[in-house]
Amino acid sequence: MLNLKRFNFYRHYYRGVNMNQASIAAELLAALGGADNLVRLSCCATRLRVDLHDDTLLDRACLERLAPVVAVIEGSALGQHKAYQLVVAPGNAQSLYEALVKAGRLDQHEERGLLKGLGRRLFGSRD
C-alpha cells in the first residue's frame, strides 16, 4: 500500500495540475532513456506503464523529482525487457500518456511493439 504522506502526494497533485504537460512529457521521455528505449507504453487512471529495452538508461531520481510522479515502481522483467510503473497524481495519467506519445512521436514505433492505450494492451488489438 502506498503511503501518500511519504510521497508528499498533495504537493505533487497540486503542482501537477497546472504544469505544462508537454514540458513534463519531454522530461519524462529523457528520464526514461528516450523514445527509442521504450518497448511498450500504456496508462490507466493513476499509472503510466512502461517497458524498457535498457533499464540502465532510466534516471529514477529525475523521475521521482517530476511534479506529477508520485512513485516509481519496478516491475518484473518481461523477457529481456524491464517493466516500470509510474504512479502519477489523479487525473494526470491520460494527459501525460498523450503528451508522451506526441513528444516522442511514439505512434511511429508501432512496428516495434509499442501499444497505445490500456484497451489495446488488454485485448491485444493493434489496429
- The pLDDT tens digits of the residues spanning 82-121 come to 899 999 988 888 888 888 888 887 764 443 444 444 444 4
- CATH for 40: 3.30.1360.60
For residue 84, is it within any domain?
Answer: yes
Catalytic residue list contains 44: yes
Which pTM was predicted?
Answer: 0.68
| Stretch 12-25: mean pLDDT | 63
The dihedrals phi and psi of 69, each to the nearest 5 degrees, come to: -85, 120
* Total number of domains in the chain: 1
For residue 75, is it within any domain?
Answer: yes
Q: Grid cell 501499444 — which residue?
A: 115
Give per-residue pLDDT as tens, 29-65. 999 999 899 888 888 889 999 999 898 999 999 998 9
For residue 54, is it within any domain?
Answer: yes
Instruction: Determine which one of 4, 26, 30, 44 is catalytic.
Output: 44
Task: Find the Cα–Cα–Cα–Cα dihedral 119, 123, 50, 87, rounded to 10°.
Answer: 50
What's the pLDDT at 109?
44
For residue 125, is it within any domain?
Answer: no
Task: List the domain range (segments joined by +) for residue 89.
Answer: 9-105
What's the pLDDT at 118?
44
What's the pLDDT at 110?
44
For residue 14, is it within any domain?
Answer: yes
For residue 112, is it within any domain?
Answer: no
Q: Which residues of 90-114 are buried (b: 16+ CB within 10 A; e: fewer)?
A: eebbebbbebbbebbebeebeeeeb
For residue 114, is it within any domain?
Answer: no
For residue 36, is it within any domain?
Answer: yes
* pLDDT at position 126 over 60: no
